[in-house]
Structure 1
Amino acid sequence: MAKKKEATVEERLRDLYDLQLIDSRIDEIRNVRGELPLEVRDLEDEVAGLNTRLEKLESSLESIDNQISDKKNQIEESKALIKKYSEQQKNVRNNREYNSITKEIEFQELEIELAEKHIKEFKVQIEQKKLVISETKERLKARQTHLKHKKSELDAILAETEKEEAALIKKSEEYRASIEERLVKAYTRIRTNVKNGLAVVAIERGASGGSFFTIPPQVQMEIASRKKIITDEHSGRILVDAALAEEEKEKMSKLFSKL
Protein backbone atom coordinates (compact mmCIF):
# COMPACT_ATOMS: atom_id res chain seq x y z
CA MET A 1 0.00 0.00 0.00
CA ALA A 2 3.00 2.29 0.47
CA LYS A 3 3.47 2.55 -3.31
CA LYS A 4 1.77 5.37 -5.26
CA LYS A 5 -0.88 4.14 -7.67
CA GLU A 6 -3.03 5.38 -10.55
CA ALA A 7 -6.51 5.24 -9.17
CA THR A 8 -10.04 5.99 -10.31
CA VAL A 9 -12.02 8.72 -8.56
CA GLU A 10 -14.04 6.06 -6.75
CA GLU A 11 -10.88 4.36 -5.49
CA ARG A 12 -9.56 7.71 -4.31
CA LEU A 13 -12.81 8.43 -2.50
CA ARG A 14 -12.74 5.01 -0.86
CA ASP A 15 -9.12 5.47 0.22
CA LEU A 16 -9.84 8.95 1.57
CA TYR A 17 -12.88 7.72 3.50
CA ASP A 18 -10.88 4.76 4.84
CA LEU A 19 -8.16 7.18 5.97
CA GLN A 20 -10.83 9.27 7.68
CA LEU A 21 -12.22 6.21 9.48
CA ILE A 22 -8.71 5.27 10.67
CA ASP A 23 -7.89 8.79 11.84
CA SER A 24 -11.29 9.11 13.55
CA ARG A 25 -10.60 5.86 15.41
CA ILE A 26 -7.25 7.28 16.56
CA ASP A 27 -9.11 10.42 17.71
CA GLU A 28 -11.56 8.26 19.68
CA ILE A 29 -8.71 6.46 21.45
CA ARG A 30 -7.06 9.76 22.33
CA ASN A 31 -10.38 11.21 23.51
CA VAL A 32 -10.76 8.26 25.90
CA ARG A 33 -7.43 9.30 27.44
CA GLY A 34 -8.71 12.86 27.40
CA GLU A 35 -6.95 15.17 29.83
CA LEU A 36 -5.49 12.29 31.89
CA PRO A 37 -1.86 12.63 30.71
CA LEU A 38 -2.00 16.37 31.45
CA GLU A 39 -3.63 15.73 34.85
CA VAL A 40 -0.92 13.21 35.72
CA ARG A 41 1.82 15.67 34.66
CA ASP A 42 0.24 18.49 36.72
CA LEU A 43 -0.06 16.21 39.77
CA GLU A 44 3.56 15.09 39.38
CA ASP A 45 4.64 18.74 39.27
CA GLU A 46 2.52 19.54 42.33
CA VAL A 47 3.95 16.57 44.29
CA ALA A 48 7.49 17.62 43.33
CA GLY A 49 6.71 21.20 44.43
CA LEU A 50 5.31 20.04 47.79
CA ASN A 51 8.39 17.85 48.38
CA THR A 52 10.65 20.82 47.65
CA ARG A 53 8.60 22.97 50.02
CA LEU A 54 8.89 20.35 52.76
CA GLU A 55 12.65 20.16 52.29
CA LYS A 56 12.93 23.96 52.62
CA LEU A 57 10.68 24.02 55.70
CA GLU A 58 12.64 21.23 57.40
CA SER A 59 15.93 22.92 56.49
CA SER A 60 14.54 26.16 57.97
CA LEU A 61 13.62 24.28 61.19
CA GLU A 62 17.16 22.96 61.41
CA SER A 63 18.50 26.50 60.93
CA ILE A 64 16.26 27.81 63.75
CA ASP A 65 17.40 24.97 66.03
CA ASN A 66 21.01 25.98 65.33
CA GLN A 67 20.19 29.61 66.15
CA ILE A 68 18.59 28.52 69.45
CA SER A 69 21.75 26.53 70.26
CA ASP A 70 23.87 29.61 69.48
CA LYS A 71 21.72 31.76 71.78
CA LYS A 72 21.94 29.17 74.58
CA ASN A 73 25.72 29.10 74.20
CA GLN A 74 25.71 32.90 74.30
CA ILE A 75 23.69 32.80 77.56
CA GLU A 76 26.17 30.37 79.10
CA GLU A 77 29.07 32.59 78.01
CA SER A 78 27.35 35.66 79.50
CA LYS A 79 26.68 33.78 82.76
CA ALA A 80 30.33 32.77 82.91
CA LEU A 81 31.40 36.39 82.35
CA ILE A 82 28.98 37.60 85.06
CA LYS A 83 30.50 35.09 87.49
CA LYS A 84 34.00 36.23 86.51
CA TYR A 85 33.11 39.94 86.87
CA SER A 86 31.36 39.29 90.22
CA GLU A 87 34.59 37.73 91.53
CA GLN A 88 36.58 40.70 90.22
CA GLN A 89 34.24 43.11 91.99
CA LYS A 90 35.35 41.66 95.34
CA ASN A 91 38.89 42.83 94.69
CA VAL A 92 38.35 46.33 93.23
CA ARG A 93 40.50 49.16 94.53
CA ASN A 94 38.22 52.09 93.79
CA ASN A 95 34.71 53.15 92.76
CA ARG A 96 35.71 53.68 89.12
CA GLU A 97 36.77 50.01 88.76
CA TYR A 98 33.64 48.88 90.65
CA ASN A 99 31.33 50.90 88.38
CA SER A 100 33.13 49.69 85.25
CA ILE A 101 32.70 46.05 86.23
CA THR A 102 29.07 46.70 87.26
CA LYS A 103 28.40 48.04 83.77
CA GLU A 104 29.95 44.91 82.24
CA ILE A 105 27.73 42.71 84.47
CA GLU A 106 24.63 44.74 83.49
CA PHE A 107 25.58 44.47 79.82
CA GLN A 108 25.89 40.67 80.07
CA GLU A 109 22.52 40.49 81.92
CA LEU A 110 20.95 42.45 79.04
CA GLU A 111 22.60 40.06 76.57
CA ILE A 112 21.03 37.13 78.44
CA GLU A 113 17.58 38.82 78.38
CA LEU A 114 17.91 39.51 74.66
CA ALA A 115 19.04 35.96 73.91
CA GLU A 116 16.13 34.53 75.93
CA LYS A 117 13.72 36.80 74.06
CA HIS A 118 15.14 35.55 70.74
CA ILE A 119 14.84 31.92 71.90
CA LYS A 120 11.13 32.49 72.70
CA GLU A 121 10.60 34.04 69.24
CA PHE A 122 12.44 31.15 67.60
CA LYS A 123 10.25 28.65 69.47
CA VAL A 124 7.10 30.42 68.20
CA GLN A 125 8.52 30.22 64.66
CA ILE A 126 9.20 26.50 65.18
CA GLU A 127 5.59 25.86 66.23
CA GLN A 128 4.29 27.82 63.23
CA LYS A 129 6.59 25.97 60.83
CA LYS A 130 5.68 22.60 62.37
CA LEU A 131 2.01 23.42 61.72
CA VAL A 132 2.79 24.34 58.08
CA ILE A 133 4.88 21.15 57.72
CA SER A 134 2.01 19.05 59.10
CA GLU A 135 -0.49 20.66 56.69
CA THR A 136 1.95 20.29 53.78
CA LYS A 137 2.51 16.60 54.59
CA GLU A 138 -1.25 16.01 54.66
CA ARG A 139 -1.66 17.77 51.31
CA LEU A 140 1.30 15.84 49.88
CA LYS A 141 -0.17 12.53 51.03
CA ALA A 142 -3.55 13.40 49.45
CA ARG A 143 -1.89 14.49 46.18
CA GLN A 144 0.27 11.34 46.09
CA THR A 145 -2.83 9.16 46.57
CA HIS A 146 -4.64 11.08 43.81
CA LEU A 147 -1.59 10.81 41.54
CA LYS A 148 -1.36 7.06 42.14
CA HIS A 149 -5.04 6.68 41.23
CA LYS A 150 -4.73 8.81 38.07
CA LYS A 151 -1.54 7.01 36.98
CA SER A 152 -3.25 3.66 37.47
CA GLU A 153 -6.21 4.91 35.43
CA LEU A 154 -3.92 6.18 32.65
CA ASP A 155 -1.82 2.98 32.65
CA ALA A 156 -4.97 0.87 32.31
CA ILE A 157 -6.18 2.94 29.33
CA LEU A 158 -2.72 2.86 27.74
CA ALA A 159 -2.50 -0.90 28.19
CA GLU A 160 -5.83 -1.27 26.40
CA THR A 161 -5.23 1.17 23.57
CA GLU A 162 -1.49 1.67 23.02
CA LYS A 163 -1.03 -1.33 20.75
CA GLU A 164 -4.16 -0.51 18.72
CA GLU A 165 -3.19 3.16 18.43
CA ALA A 166 0.30 2.29 17.16
CA ALA A 167 -1.16 -0.12 14.58
CA LEU A 168 -3.70 2.51 13.46
CA ILE A 169 -1.03 5.21 13.12
CA LYS A 170 1.01 2.86 10.95
CA LYS A 171 -2.08 2.07 8.85
CA SER A 172 -2.88 5.79 8.53
CA GLU A 173 0.66 6.43 7.25
CA GLU A 174 0.28 3.61 4.71
CA TYR A 175 -2.95 5.09 3.37
CA ARG A 176 -1.43 8.58 3.20
CA ALA A 177 1.49 7.18 1.20
CA SER A 178 -0.88 5.52 -1.28
CA ILE A 179 -3.07 8.59 -1.90
CA GLU A 180 -2.09 11.47 -4.18
CA GLU A 181 -0.08 14.08 -2.29
CA ARG A 182 -2.42 16.93 -3.28
CA LEU A 183 -5.41 15.02 -1.90
CA VAL A 184 -3.58 14.19 1.33
CA LYS A 185 -2.70 17.88 1.73
CA ALA A 186 -6.31 18.89 1.10
CA TYR A 187 -7.56 16.21 3.51
CA THR A 188 -5.10 17.34 6.22
CA ARG A 189 -6.00 21.00 5.75
CA ILE A 190 -9.75 20.32 5.95
CA ARG A 191 -9.31 17.98 8.92
CA THR A 192 -7.36 20.66 10.78
CA ASN A 193 -9.95 23.36 10.12
CA VAL A 194 -13.21 21.52 10.83
CA LYS A 195 -14.84 20.38 14.03
CA ASN A 196 -14.18 16.80 15.20
CA GLY A 197 -11.48 16.32 12.56
CA LEU A 198 -14.03 15.12 9.98
CA ALA A 199 -12.62 15.95 6.54
CA VAL A 200 -14.49 13.23 4.57
CA VAL A 201 -18.17 12.72 5.37
CA ALA A 202 -21.11 10.78 3.97
CA ILE A 203 -24.45 12.18 2.83
CA GLU A 204 -26.97 11.51 5.60
CA ARG A 205 -30.70 12.12 4.96
CA GLY A 206 -29.88 14.43 2.08
CA ALA A 207 -27.47 16.55 4.13
CA SER A 208 -23.70 16.74 4.62
CA GLY A 209 -22.58 14.71 7.64
CA GLY A 210 -20.93 16.97 10.18
CA SER A 211 -22.50 20.22 8.95
CA PHE A 212 -26.09 19.11 8.22
CA PHE A 213 -26.62 21.56 5.35
CA THR A 214 -28.97 20.11 2.73
CA ILE A 215 -27.28 18.97 -0.47
CA PRO A 216 -29.28 19.66 -3.69
CA PRO A 217 -30.59 16.45 -5.37
CA GLN A 218 -28.51 17.09 -8.53
CA VAL A 219 -25.30 17.31 -6.43
CA GLN A 220 -26.29 14.18 -4.52
CA MET A 221 -26.56 12.34 -7.85
CA GLU A 222 -23.11 13.57 -8.87
CA ILE A 223 -21.67 12.38 -5.54
CA ALA A 224 -23.34 8.99 -5.98
CA SER A 225 -21.88 8.67 -9.50
CA ARG A 226 -18.35 8.81 -7.98
CA LYS A 227 -16.98 10.50 -11.10
CA LYS A 228 -15.38 13.46 -9.36
CA ILE A 229 -14.40 14.62 -5.90
CA ILE A 230 -17.01 17.03 -4.56
CA THR A 231 -16.76 19.18 -1.46
CA ASP A 232 -19.49 20.66 0.71
CA GLU A 233 -19.77 24.36 -0.15
CA HIS A 234 -20.55 25.24 3.48
CA SER A 235 -17.87 23.33 5.38
CA GLY A 236 -15.34 22.41 2.67
CA ARG A 237 -15.56 18.71 3.62
CA ILE A 238 -15.11 16.04 0.95
CA LEU A 239 -18.41 14.26 0.36
CA VAL A 240 -19.12 10.57 -0.33
CA ASP A 241 -22.44 8.77 -0.86
CA ALA A 242 -24.04 6.76 1.94
CA ALA A 243 -23.65 3.40 0.15
CA LEU A 244 -19.90 3.83 -0.31
CA ALA A 245 -19.60 4.95 3.32
CA GLU A 246 -21.43 1.86 4.58
CA GLU A 247 -19.27 -0.49 2.51
CA GLU A 248 -16.06 1.13 3.79
CA LYS A 249 -17.27 1.20 7.39
CA GLU A 250 -17.95 -2.52 7.24
CA LYS A 251 -14.56 -3.18 5.65
CA MET A 252 -12.68 -1.03 8.19
CA SER A 253 -14.63 -2.48 11.09
CA LYS A 254 -13.20 -5.89 10.21
CA LEU A 255 -9.72 -4.35 10.01
CA PHE A 256 -10.09 -2.66 13.41
CA SER A 257 -11.22 -5.89 15.05
CA LYS A 258 -7.95 -7.55 14.00
CA LEU A 259 -5.73 -4.80 15.45
Structure 2
Amino acid sequence: MAKKKEISVEEKLRTLFDLQLIDARIDEIRNVRGELPLEVEDLKDEVAGLNKRLEKLNIDLEGLNQNIADKKNAIEESKALIKKYNEQQKNVRNNREFNAISKEIEFQELEIELAEKHIREFKAQIEHKNEVITATQEKIEARQEHLKHKQDELDEILSETEREEKALIEKSEDFKKDIETRLVTAYERIRGSVKNGLAVVPVERGASGGSFFTIPPQVQMEIASRKKIITDEHSGRILVDSQLAEEEREKMNELFKKF
Protein backbone atom coordinates (compact mmCIF):
# COMPACT_ATOMS: atom_id res chain seq x y z
CA MET A 1 0.00 0.00 0.00
CA ALA A 2 1.41 3.38 -1.04
CA LYS A 3 2.27 5.71 1.82
CA LYS A 4 0.38 9.01 1.82
CA LYS A 5 2.56 12.02 1.22
CA GLU A 6 3.26 14.27 4.18
CA ILE A 7 1.34 17.54 4.05
CA SER A 8 1.24 20.52 6.38
CA VAL A 9 -1.52 21.08 8.93
CA GLU A 10 -2.84 23.95 6.82
CA GLU A 11 -3.03 21.71 3.78
CA LYS A 12 -4.85 19.11 5.87
CA LEU A 13 -7.33 21.74 7.03
CA ARG A 14 -7.88 22.97 3.48
CA THR A 15 -8.35 19.42 2.19
CA LEU A 16 -10.75 18.58 5.04
CA PHE A 17 -12.81 21.70 4.36
CA ASP A 18 -12.83 20.95 0.62
CA LEU A 19 -13.97 17.41 1.41
CA GLN A 20 -16.72 18.87 3.60
CA LEU A 21 -17.88 21.16 0.78
CA ILE A 22 -17.99 18.24 -1.66
CA ASP A 23 -19.90 15.99 0.75
CA ALA A 24 -22.28 18.82 1.63
CA ARG A 25 -23.02 19.24 -2.09
CA ILE A 26 -23.71 15.50 -2.37
CA ASP A 27 -26.06 15.83 0.63
CA GLU A 28 -27.89 18.68 -1.12
CA ILE A 29 -28.38 16.59 -4.25
CA ARG A 30 -29.72 13.68 -2.22
CA ASN A 31 -31.99 15.98 -0.25
CA VAL A 32 -33.52 17.20 -3.52
CA ARG A 33 -34.46 13.60 -4.26
CA GLY A 34 -35.69 13.29 -0.69
CA GLU A 35 -37.97 10.33 -0.11
CA LEU A 36 -38.75 9.89 -3.81
CA PRO A 37 -36.65 6.72 -4.34
CA LEU A 38 -38.30 5.09 -1.31
CA GLU A 39 -41.76 6.21 -2.47
CA VAL A 40 -41.12 4.72 -5.92
CA GLU A 41 -39.94 1.42 -4.41
CA ASP A 42 -42.93 1.29 -2.05
CA LEU A 43 -45.33 1.91 -4.95
CA LYS A 44 -43.62 -0.79 -7.05
CA ASP A 45 -43.97 -3.24 -4.16
CA GLU A 46 -47.62 -2.27 -3.69
CA VAL A 47 -48.42 -2.73 -7.40
CA ALA A 48 -46.61 -6.08 -7.41
CA GLY A 49 -48.60 -7.15 -4.34
CA LEU A 50 -51.89 -6.08 -5.94
CA ASN A 51 -51.05 -7.95 -9.16
CA LYS A 52 -50.26 -11.06 -7.14
CA ARG A 53 -53.59 -10.69 -5.34
CA LEU A 54 -55.37 -10.24 -8.70
CA GLU A 55 -53.68 -13.37 -10.03
CA LYS A 56 -54.88 -15.37 -7.00
CA LEU A 57 -58.41 -13.99 -7.37
CA ASN A 58 -58.51 -15.07 -11.01
CA ILE A 59 -57.24 -18.55 -10.06
CA ASP A 60 -59.98 -18.72 -7.41
CA LEU A 61 -62.50 -17.64 -10.06
CA GLU A 62 -61.36 -20.40 -12.41
CA GLY A 63 -61.72 -22.88 -9.56
CA LEU A 64 -65.27 -21.75 -8.83
CA ASN A 65 -66.27 -21.98 -12.50
CA GLN A 66 -64.78 -25.46 -12.63
CA ASN A 67 -66.74 -26.40 -9.51
CA ILE A 68 -69.95 -25.23 -11.21
CA ALA A 69 -69.11 -27.27 -14.32
CA ASP A 70 -68.44 -30.32 -12.15
CA LYS A 71 -71.75 -29.90 -10.32
CA LYS A 72 -73.63 -29.50 -13.62
CA ASN A 73 -72.03 -32.70 -14.87
CA ALA A 74 -73.04 -34.40 -11.62
CA ILE A 75 -76.63 -33.18 -12.12
CA GLU A 76 -76.70 -34.62 -15.64
CA GLU A 77 -75.35 -37.91 -14.35
CA SER A 78 -78.03 -37.97 -11.63
CA LYS A 79 -80.74 -37.20 -14.21
CA ALA A 80 -79.46 -40.01 -16.40
CA LEU A 81 -79.57 -42.40 -13.43
CA ILE A 82 -83.11 -41.27 -12.53
CA LYS A 83 -84.21 -41.95 -16.09
CA LYS A 84 -82.56 -45.38 -15.96
CA TYR A 85 -84.17 -46.17 -12.59
CA ASN A 86 -87.60 -45.06 -13.86
CA GLU A 87 -87.27 -47.54 -16.71
CA GLN A 88 -86.20 -50.25 -14.30
CA GLN A 89 -89.26 -49.63 -12.10
CA LYS A 90 -91.48 -50.60 -15.01
CA ASN A 91 -90.02 -54.09 -14.93
CA VAL A 92 -89.81 -54.83 -11.19
CA ARG A 93 -91.04 -58.17 -9.92
CA ASN A 94 -91.96 -57.15 -6.36
CA ASN A 95 -92.41 -54.25 -3.93
CA ARG A 96 -88.96 -54.73 -2.43
CA GLU A 97 -87.28 -54.06 -5.78
CA PHE A 98 -89.66 -51.14 -6.42
CA ASN A 99 -88.85 -49.55 -3.04
CA ALA A 100 -85.10 -50.08 -3.51
CA ILE A 101 -85.20 -48.32 -6.89
CA SER A 102 -87.41 -45.56 -5.42
CA LYS A 103 -84.76 -44.91 -2.76
CA GLU A 104 -82.10 -44.68 -5.47
CA ILE A 105 -84.25 -42.18 -7.37
CA GLU A 106 -84.86 -40.18 -4.17
CA PHE A 107 -81.11 -40.20 -3.42
CA GLN A 108 -80.29 -38.89 -6.92
CA GLU A 109 -82.96 -36.17 -6.59
CA LEU A 110 -81.36 -35.10 -3.31
CA GLU A 111 -77.97 -35.13 -5.05
CA ILE A 112 -79.41 -32.80 -7.72
CA GLU A 113 -80.84 -30.45 -5.07
CA LEU A 114 -77.51 -30.39 -3.22
CA ALA A 115 -75.58 -29.75 -6.45
CA GLU A 116 -77.96 -26.91 -7.38
CA LYS A 117 -77.51 -25.43 -3.90
CA HIS A 118 -73.72 -25.59 -4.32
CA ILE A 119 -74.00 -23.97 -7.76
CA ARG A 120 -75.97 -21.07 -6.26
CA GLU A 121 -73.31 -20.69 -3.55
CA PHE A 122 -70.49 -20.81 -6.13
CA LYS A 123 -72.27 -18.18 -8.25
CA ALA A 124 -72.63 -15.92 -5.21
CA GLN A 125 -68.89 -16.36 -4.52
CA ILE A 126 -68.12 -15.60 -8.18
CA GLU A 127 -70.17 -12.41 -7.99
CA HIS A 128 -68.26 -11.35 -4.88
CA LYS A 129 -64.90 -12.30 -6.45
CA ASN A 130 -65.74 -10.27 -9.56
CA GLU A 131 -66.51 -7.23 -7.39
CA VAL A 132 -63.16 -7.65 -5.59
CA ILE A 133 -61.37 -8.17 -8.93
CA THR A 134 -62.89 -4.98 -10.35
CA ALA A 135 -61.93 -2.99 -7.23
CA THR A 136 -58.41 -4.46 -7.31
CA GLN A 137 -57.98 -3.63 -11.00
CA GLU A 138 -59.10 -0.05 -10.36
CA LYS A 139 -56.66 0.20 -7.46
CA ILE A 140 -53.83 -1.17 -9.61
CA GLU A 141 -54.57 1.37 -12.34
CA ALA A 142 -54.59 4.21 -9.80
CA ARG A 143 -51.34 3.04 -8.19
CA GLN A 144 -49.68 2.54 -11.57
CA GLU A 145 -50.63 6.07 -12.57
CA HIS A 146 -49.25 7.40 -9.30
CA LEU A 147 -46.10 5.28 -9.75
CA LYS A 148 -45.58 6.63 -13.29
CA HIS A 149 -45.87 10.20 -12.00
CA LYS A 150 -43.37 9.56 -9.18
CA GLN A 151 -41.01 7.60 -11.46
CA ASP A 152 -41.05 10.42 -14.05
CA GLU A 153 -40.35 12.92 -11.28
CA LEU A 154 -37.46 10.81 -9.99
CA ASP A 155 -36.05 10.20 -13.48
CA GLU A 156 -36.07 13.94 -14.16
CA ILE A 157 -34.18 14.68 -10.95
CA LEU A 158 -31.74 11.83 -11.60
CA SER A 159 -31.05 13.01 -15.13
CA GLU A 160 -30.19 16.45 -13.74
CA THR A 161 -28.06 15.30 -10.81
CA GLU A 162 -26.78 11.76 -11.41
CA ARG A 163 -23.71 12.75 -13.40
CA GLU A 164 -22.80 15.50 -10.93
CA GLU A 165 -23.33 13.21 -7.93
CA LYS A 166 -21.13 10.50 -9.44
CA ALA A 167 -18.36 13.01 -10.19
CA LEU A 168 -18.61 14.44 -6.66
CA ILE A 169 -18.44 11.00 -5.05
CA GLU A 170 -15.29 10.21 -7.05
CA LYS A 171 -13.80 13.57 -6.07
CA SER A 172 -14.68 12.95 -2.41
CA GLU A 173 -12.80 9.64 -2.51
CA ASP A 174 -9.81 11.36 -4.17
CA PHE A 175 -9.66 13.99 -1.42
CA LYS A 176 -9.83 11.31 1.28
CA LYS A 177 -6.73 9.69 -0.21
CA ASP A 178 -4.77 12.86 0.52
CA ILE A 179 -5.64 12.81 4.22
CA GLU A 180 -4.33 10.37 6.80
CA THR A 181 -6.76 7.57 7.67
CA ARG A 182 -7.07 8.72 11.29
CA LEU A 183 -8.41 12.12 10.20
CA VAL A 184 -10.77 10.65 7.61
CA THR A 185 -12.19 8.32 10.28
CA ALA A 186 -12.65 11.23 12.69
CA TYR A 187 -14.25 13.34 9.95
CA GLU A 188 -16.73 10.60 9.02
CA ARG A 189 -17.54 9.93 12.69
CA ILE A 190 -18.31 13.61 13.29
CA ARG A 191 -20.40 13.79 10.10
CA GLY A 192 -22.43 10.85 11.28
CA SER A 193 -23.05 12.35 14.72
CA VAL A 194 -24.29 15.82 13.71
CA LYS A 195 -27.70 16.52 12.18
CA ASN A 196 -26.57 18.58 9.20
CA GLY A 197 -23.53 16.41 8.40
CA LEU A 198 -21.11 19.33 8.82
CA ALA A 199 -17.92 18.02 10.39
CA VAL A 200 -15.66 20.95 9.39
CA VAL A 201 -16.95 24.47 10.01
CA PRO A 202 -15.45 27.97 9.97
CA VAL A 203 -15.33 30.34 12.91
CA GLU A 204 -17.91 33.07 12.27
CA ARG A 205 -18.43 36.08 14.53
CA GLY A 206 -16.42 34.45 17.29
CA ALA A 207 -18.34 31.15 17.29
CA SER A 208 -18.13 27.91 15.33
CA GLY A 209 -20.47 27.72 12.34
CA GLY A 210 -24.00 26.84 13.37
CA SER A 211 -23.21 27.29 17.07
CA PHE A 212 -23.96 30.00 19.62
CA PHE A 213 -21.04 29.09 21.86
CA THR A 214 -18.31 31.72 21.76
CA ILE A 215 -14.76 30.56 21.13
CA PRO A 216 -12.12 32.22 23.38
CA PRO A 217 -9.89 34.75 21.54
CA GLN A 218 -6.76 32.69 22.28
CA VAL A 219 -8.30 29.63 20.62
CA GLN A 220 -9.42 31.76 17.67
CA MET A 221 -5.82 32.87 17.20
CA GLU A 222 -4.64 29.25 17.28
CA ILE A 223 -7.23 28.34 14.64
CA ALA A 224 -6.14 31.25 12.45
CA SER A 225 -2.48 30.19 12.76
CA ARG A 226 -3.36 26.85 11.09
CA LYS A 227 -0.63 25.06 13.06
CA LYS A 228 -2.80 22.33 14.54
CA ILE A 229 -6.22 20.77 14.11
CA ILE A 230 -8.63 22.15 16.69
CA THR A 231 -12.12 20.90 17.43
CA ASP A 232 -15.07 22.68 19.00
CA GLU A 233 -15.39 21.53 22.61
CA HIS A 234 -19.21 21.66 22.41
CA SER A 235 -19.97 19.95 19.07
CA GLY A 236 -16.71 18.12 18.34
CA ARG A 237 -16.54 19.71 14.88
CA ILE A 238 -13.18 20.54 13.29
CA LEU A 239 -12.67 24.30 13.15
CA VAL A 240 -11.09 26.43 10.42
CA ASP A 241 -10.71 30.20 10.18
CA SER A 242 -13.16 32.18 8.05
CA GLN A 243 -10.52 33.38 5.57
CA LEU A 244 -9.42 29.83 4.76
CA ALA A 245 -13.07 28.83 4.43
CA GLU A 246 -13.79 31.68 2.01
CA GLU A 247 -10.77 30.86 -0.13
CA GLU A 248 -11.72 27.19 -0.35
CA ARG A 249 -15.36 27.98 -1.11
CA GLU A 250 -14.34 30.11 -4.07
CA LYS A 251 -11.98 27.38 -5.31
CA MET A 252 -14.55 24.60 -4.93
CA ASN A 253 -17.35 26.66 -6.50
CA GLU A 254 -15.22 26.86 -9.63
CA LEU A 255 -14.74 23.09 -9.50
CA PHE A 256 -18.48 22.47 -9.07
CA LYS A 257 -19.25 24.53 -12.18
CA LYS A 258 -17.38 21.94 -14.25
CA PHE A 259 -19.67 19.11 -13.19
- The TM-score with structure 2 as length reference comes to 0.97
Q: Which residue of 2 aligns with 1:130?
A: 130
- Give a deviation string over 1:4-61, Cα, whole Å, max 9, x none: 3322221111111000000110111111111111111111111111111111100110
Q: Which residue of 2 aligns with 1:96?
A: 96
**Which range is displaced more, 108-117 or 90-99?**
90-99
Q: Tell me the SS of whatever aligns to 2:92.
A: coil
Quick one: distance in 2 between partners of 1:181 and 1:122?
71
Quick one: distance in 1 between partners of 2:7 and 2:218?
25
Identity of aligned residues (%): 76
How many angstroms does 1:3 deviate by?
Answer: 8.0
Q: Is the 8 A contact 1:203 1:240 kept in 2?
A: yes
How many angstroms does 1:242 deviate by?
Answer: 1.1
Q: Tell me the SS of whatever aligns to 1:161.
A: helix
Q: Is the 8 A contact 1:4 1:177 kept in 2?
A: yes
The answer to whether structure 1 residue 110 and structure 2 residue 114 are counterparts is no
Q: Which residue of 2 aligns with 1:154?
A: 154
Q: Tell me the SS of whatever aligns to 1:7.
A: coil
Q: Which residue of 1 aligns with 2:218?
A: 218
- Give a deviation string over 1:83-135, Cα, whole Å, max 9, x none: 11111111111111111111011000000000000000000000000000001
Q: Which residue of 2 aligns with 1:184?
A: 184
Q: Is the 8 A contact 1:223 1:241 kept in 2?
A: yes
**Which residue type is aligned with residue 245 of structure 1?**
A
Quick one: distance in 1 between partners of 2:95 and 2:182?
109
**Which residue type is aligned with residue 165 of structure 1?**
E
Matches within 5 A, 1:1-259: 4-259=4-259
Quick one: distance in 2 between partners of 1:167 and 1:135?
47
Quick one: distance in 1 between partners of 2:35 and 2:51?
24
Computed over aligned residues only, the root mean square deviation of the Cα atoms, in angstroms, reads 1.3
Quick one: distance in 2 between partners of 1:81 and 1:180?
94
Quick one: distance in 2 between partners of 1:214 and 1:109?
98
Quick one: distance in 2 between partners of 1:100 and 1:197?
91
Q: Tell me the SS of whatever aligns to 2:239.
A: strand
Quick one: distance in 1 between partners of 2:229 and 2:89?
113
Q: Is the 8 A contact 1:198 1:210 kept in 2?
A: no
- Give a deviation string over 1:189-231, Cα, whole Å, max 9, x none: 2112222111100112211113332211221121112121110
